[in-house]
């Protein structure tokens, strides 16, 4: 009885802690997207920018280890590294394509471009985990898909085909990522911290030769060593790059740490509220910071995708309450918090 009471006490975090954690994820997700867009508007080295973010997170991990805040496997296990190759490969491709998406589309349109994460995740779970979705789940996916098509085809605003392409592909990668992460956690004996550490470190190493192969090296040299004049009162291109990298790298690391909290803050209600607030806030911040134009079509698209996502969350909650599956083939609830932020830290949602 005392054990049950103790367990119940552990699983009942204070309201302040729950609210604080939800607000942190909300601020972090919005900051990551806006800071990324801010830097990508002024630089033409998206992969080097991503690699810098990952390296900053790695340095912060090491500093936390040195001061005793975290315990990391500094001596790398090559068997673990080999086992994490699929996870790291998907992480690098997904993050790279997400950055390219954000480079080619407005900040307010970013969630539309990546709106197919939910349908792709349900499809991936069906194909790879043989998890048959219910009719209500399929209906939720159809709502989200309809919202995506409104934004891409029915809104009269010109949209970059490259941005849409990168958005769709990165959505597919995110869906695969949610399946692969289970096996990756098994490889590191269930430690989310170790998975974050390995993912950040190995992704940073893998990205270095890739950015050279795609031809970013001359542009990186120009950014670091070329003239960096800027109007009075404004940051230079290099200054923008360094500040943006520091913000996103630090938030990526902090989200890794926050994920170690042994509480489930994304209950259906908090999940739905924070997702809706984030969707609206991202659009408003895009208008304010980058002067994005929110047409009626784009607003309808964002609202439809949000509604479908929230309906999905509610249906999953109702279905999980009605019957707990006996086997392990239930698909993961899609992280409706910012996918990039989640993947950048290599943490499971």
Measured distance CA(40)–CA(222) in Å, rounded: 15
Query: Which residue, 205, 203, 142, is CA-closest to 346?
Result: 203
Has residue 250 been placed in a domain?
yes
DSSP secondary structure letter of residue 153: I
Has residue 339 been placed in a domain?
no
Q: Confidence band (pLDDT; 50, 70, 90) for 187?
A: very high
For the chain, give the percent of residues with pLDDT over 70. Answer: 84
Whether 272 shows a pLDDT value over 70: the answer reads no
pLDDT tens-digit profile of 60-101?
999 999 999 889 998 999 999 999 999 999 999 999 999 999
Cβ atoms of 51 and 41 within 8 Å: the answer is: no
- Helical pair 46-66 and 85-104, crossing angle rounded to 10 deg: 130
Q: What is the pLDDT of residue 8?
A: 47
The total domain count for the chain is: 1
Q: What is the mean pLDDT of residues 303-332?
A: 77
Has residue 69 been placed in a domain?
yes
Q: Confidence band (pLDDT; 50, 70, 90) for 10?
A: very low
Which tokens in the block code for residue 246? 């520091």
Has residue 33 been placed in a domain?
yes
Q: What is the pLDDT of residue 12?
A: 53
Has residue 176 been placed in a domain?
yes
- DSSP line for 99-123: HHHHHHS-TTTHHHHTTTHHHHHHH
**In terms of residue numbers, what domain contains 158?**
15-221+238-321
Burial of 246 (0-12, 13-18, 19+ CB in 10 A): middle
Whether 320 shows a pLDDT value over 60: the answer reads yes
Burial of 250 (0-12, 13-18, 19+ CB in 10 A): middle
> What Cα–Cα distance (Å) separates residue 193 from each residue in 91, 112, 255?
16, 31, 11
Has residue 230 been placed in a domain?
no
Has residue 231 been placed in a domain?
no
Specify the higher pLDDT residue, 102 or 22.
102
Query: Which residue, 12, 43, 78, is CA-closest to 219?
Result: 43
**148 CB-near residues (< 8 Å, 6+ apart):** 112, 115, 116, 301, 305
The tally of CA atoms less than 13 A away on the side-chain side of residue 283 is: 19
Specify the higher pLDDT residue, 348 or 18.
18
DSSP secondary structure letter of residue 334: P
Has residue 278 been placed in a domain?
yes
φ, ψ of residue 295 in degrees (nearest 5): -80, 170
Averaged pLDDT of the chain: 84
DSSP secondary structure letter of residue 260: T
Q: What is the CA radius of gyration of the chain?
A: 20
């Amino acid at each position: 009885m005392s054990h049950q009471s103790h367990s119940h006490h552990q699983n009942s975090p204070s309201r302040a802690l729950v609210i604080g954690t939800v607000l942190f994820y909300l601020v972090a997700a919005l900051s990551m997207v806006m800071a990324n867009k801010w830097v990508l508007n002024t630089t033409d080295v998206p992969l080097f920018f991503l690699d810098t973010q990952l390296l900053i997170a790695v340095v912060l991990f090491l500093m936390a280890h040195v001061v005793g805040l975290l315990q990391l496997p500094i001596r790398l296990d090559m068997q673990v590294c080999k086992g994490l190759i699929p996870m790291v490969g998907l992480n690098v491709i997904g993050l790279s394509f997400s950055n390219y998406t954000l480079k080619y589309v407005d900040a307010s349109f970013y969630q539309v471009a990546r709106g197919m994460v939910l349908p792709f995740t349900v499809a991936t779970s069906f194909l790879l985990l043989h998890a048959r979705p219910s009719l209500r789940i399929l209906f939720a996916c159809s709502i989200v898909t309809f919202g995506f098509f409104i934004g891409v085809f029915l809104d009269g605003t010109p949209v970059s085909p490259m941005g849409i392409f990168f958005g769709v592909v990165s959505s597919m990668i995110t869906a695969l990522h949610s399946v692969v992460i289970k096996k990756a956690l098994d490889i590191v004996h269930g430690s989310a911290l170790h998975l974050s550490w390995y993912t950040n470190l190995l992704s940073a190493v893998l990205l270095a030769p890739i950015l050279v192969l795609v031809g970013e090296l001359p542009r990186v040299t120009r950014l670091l060593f070329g003239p960096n004049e800027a109007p009075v009162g404004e940051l230079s291109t290099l200054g923008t790059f360094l500040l943006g990298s520091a913000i996103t790298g630090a938030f990526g690391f902090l989200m890794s740490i926050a994920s170690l909290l042994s509480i489930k803050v994304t209950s259906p209600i908090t999940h739905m509220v924070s997702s809706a607030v984030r969707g609206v806030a991202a659009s408003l911040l895009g208008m304010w910071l980058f002067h994005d134009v929110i047409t009626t079509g784009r607003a309808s698209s964002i609202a439809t995708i949000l509604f479908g996502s929230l309906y999905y969350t509610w249906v999953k909650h109702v279905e999980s309450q009605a019957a707990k599956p006996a086997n392990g083939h239930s698909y993961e609830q899609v992280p409706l918090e910012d996918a990039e932020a989640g993947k950048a830290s290599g943490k499971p949602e």
